[in-house]
Amino acid sequence: MSELNKIAKQMVAEKKGILAADESTPTIGKRLAKINIENTEDNRKAYRELLFTAPNIGEYISGVILYDETIRQRASDGHTFVTVLEKQGVLPGIKVDEGTEAVADSPDEVVTKGLEGLLERLPEYANMGAKFCKWRALIKIGAGIPTDKCIQINAERLAKYAKLCQQNNLAPIVEPEVLMDGDHTIEKCFEVTKKVLLTVFVELKKVGVAFDGMILKPNMIISGSECAKQASAKEVAEMTVKCLRETVPAEVPGIAFLSGGQSEEFACETLNEINKLSAGCPWQLSFSYGRALQASALKAWGGKSENVKVGQEAFLKQAKLVSLARDGKL
């Protein structure tokens, strides 16, 4: 078993999944604003320390995706966050993309940037203790989009990123996200997601990415957020498993779904239904949730040091539910 395969398998170990705590500074600012907390480095650090030091998170969480600022920070006891996670038996990872830029000739679409300088950044992150990386490509559904050009450029960049990661002994999370924003049907989401995934795997193969040393982080097949007919969790599960069976190579150790704006409750329900259909699937069907693991914790904490314990309890309660859903046992 290669080192990359070992890491990838750890990331999708049974009962566990990945916490996405890699919100950029502006994005976490929006989260903090909801609880009327100023977006300062100290507040960002305090909130993330609450999550990473929650007792025994290693029971439910296999890895945490960090942001560049966070991987460089230390907890209040002086240890780096990387060390804090390692002590909990949790793999530290790092988001390495640098946001998006508009597609030439198609201003409503975006491609992810960050390849420039990535070759220099990856060894630095590996030296800090990172074991895996993440790169997110965003695909929007709308009038006349996504275009083939947008899908192709994003797939090519995902492939280049993944290859560079593996060359630095870092397991890549490949995240092509078809956004749920819009009024499109679940059928349209299926059509677009299938096309995106097929294109991504063609490009990954082309550059020589080892499928057994990576994790796929896709969206579920879901109705657009403004679609008049919202699909049930069971329909989401059936369409999602069908799409994956038609696109994802068996060598990939695991699929860690993003929550993509689903509520904590629905993200649990859909994951549970997906895992009920997992018999015969060659991959582990896990999770890599951000908001769907954190919303309750953030609200319970409210930015107050005296609420750290209740914030952690809310986080652990949700993590346990998602862990049960990850095994279809909710």
What does each of the 330 residues of the chain score in pLDDT, given as a tens digit?
A: 699 999 999 999 999 999 999 999 999 999 999 999 999 999 999 999 999 999 999 999 999 999 999 999 999 999 999 999 999 999 999 999 999 999 989 989 999 999 999 999 999 999 999 999 999 999 999 999 999 999 999 999 999 999 999 999 999 999 999 999 999 999 999 999 999 999 999 999 999 999 999 999 999 999 999 999 999 999 999 999 999 999 999 999 999 999 998 999 999 999 999 999 999 999 999 999 999 999 999 999 999 999 999 999 999 999 999 999 999 998
User: Structure tokens of 203?
Assistant: 């490009």
pLDDT of residue 84: 98
Domains and CATH numbers, the chain: 3-326 (3.20.20.70)
Selecting among 16, 95, 131, 217, the annotated active-site residue is 217
Given a contact cutoff of 8 angstroms between Cβ atoms, the answer to whether 109 and 141 are in contact is: no
24 half-sphere exposure, CB direction, 13 A CA radius: 9
Selecting among 23, 156, 175, 264, the annotated active-site residue is 175
**What is the distance between the alpha carbons of residues 10 and 16, in angstroms, rounded to a whole number?**
9
pTM higher than the cut 0.85: yes
Q: What are phi and psi of 295, to 5 degrees?
A: -55, -50
pLDDT of residue 248: 98
What DSSP state is assigned to residue 145? B
pLDDT of residue 127: 98
pLDDT of residue 22: 96
CB neighbour list of residue 6: distance below 8 Å, 6 or more residues apart: none
Query: Is-catalytic flag, 304?
Result: no
Query: Is-catalytic flag, 175?
Result: yes
CB neighbour list of residue 114: distance below 8 Å, 6 or more residues apart: 96, 97, 98, 99, 135, 161
| Separation of CA 246 from chain center | 21
pLDDT of residue 300: 97
What's the full length of the chain, in residues? 330
